[in-house]
Amino acid sequence: MTISNDCILQLKSTSFQTLECEELLDVGIEDNEMLLLYIETGRVQAEQTGKESIYQNGDILWVDKTDRIYALNQVNTLFFAVVWIDRKRLIEPPVLYKASQTKVDPLWKQLFTAAKDSFNQYCKQQTLFWSLLDLITQEHTSYPGKMEIIIEEITNHIVDPDMEPLTVSELAKKANMTPASFSRAFKRHTGSSPKEFINSCRIKKAKELMREKKDITLKEVADLAGFQDEFYFSKLFKKKEGVAPSIFKKELP
């Protein structure tokens, strides 16, 4: 059955795969296709656009043909749908939100077992697919209000000096989203990726520390500003400010 050119995205097929530990998921899709991957059981590591993220049972993510998905434990049951995407009109797939597994599980299983021998059955399968998309693209999170409020709370956490620094994965969990979906939503609302925003806040904190404490060492600045080490801090500071932190500190009035 051919796919209508009027569609932005449409379900092509469904399948599932059980992976052993360290086994790689066989993506096997074309340039204009993506996998909508649902992890029913187990944990996987995803390598996507140079970033690594961990996903576990209940998580849903988009997978491109260049992405690599590895199983991290012995039993991993993965359901997936091959989705055709009109990339001229939809460059980025919809942002996904983590929904209740008790709601998502039945839809995936119905989608996988749905017969499609007739046009009517094909329509029913497409209806199930859109019901699933409706559920997992809603901005439902553990926080009240719209996504703007969620992102505002996350940014407030990042800039608050009294709050414990969190990784992007930890911030995504706080927003009840997958890391990839959280990063896209964060950038859509702030104009920066979570990592860029975090680093900008840390650079700002480092400059404040150097202005306030004349005798502070660069190692102490890096530690107090939340950087992993002095070398990374110096490299990032020079990239952002155009001057090494040692020179910046020396030239302060």
- In this predicted model, what pLDDT tens digit does every residue of 72-109 receive, in sequence order? 887 677 778 888 877 677 767 777 777 777 778 888 88
**What pLDDT is attached to residue 2?**
42
Q: Which amino acid is at 144?
A: P
Backbone angles phi, psi at 74, to 5 degrees: -70, -40
CB 19 within 8 A of CB 42: yes
CB 46 within 8 A of CB 52: yes
Residues of the chain with CATH 1.10.10.60: 146-251
Burial of 69 (0-12, 13-18, 19+ CB in 10 A): buried
Question: What's the topology of domain 146-251?
Answer: Arc Repressor Mutant, subunit A (1.10.10)
Fold of 10-140: Jelly Rolls (2.60.120)
Overall pTM > 0.75: no
Given a cut of 70, the residues of the chain with pLDDT beneath it are 1-7, 75, 87, 91, 139-146
Give the pLDDT of residue 220.
Answer: 93
> Is residue 68 within 8 Å of residue 24, measured between CB atoms?
yes
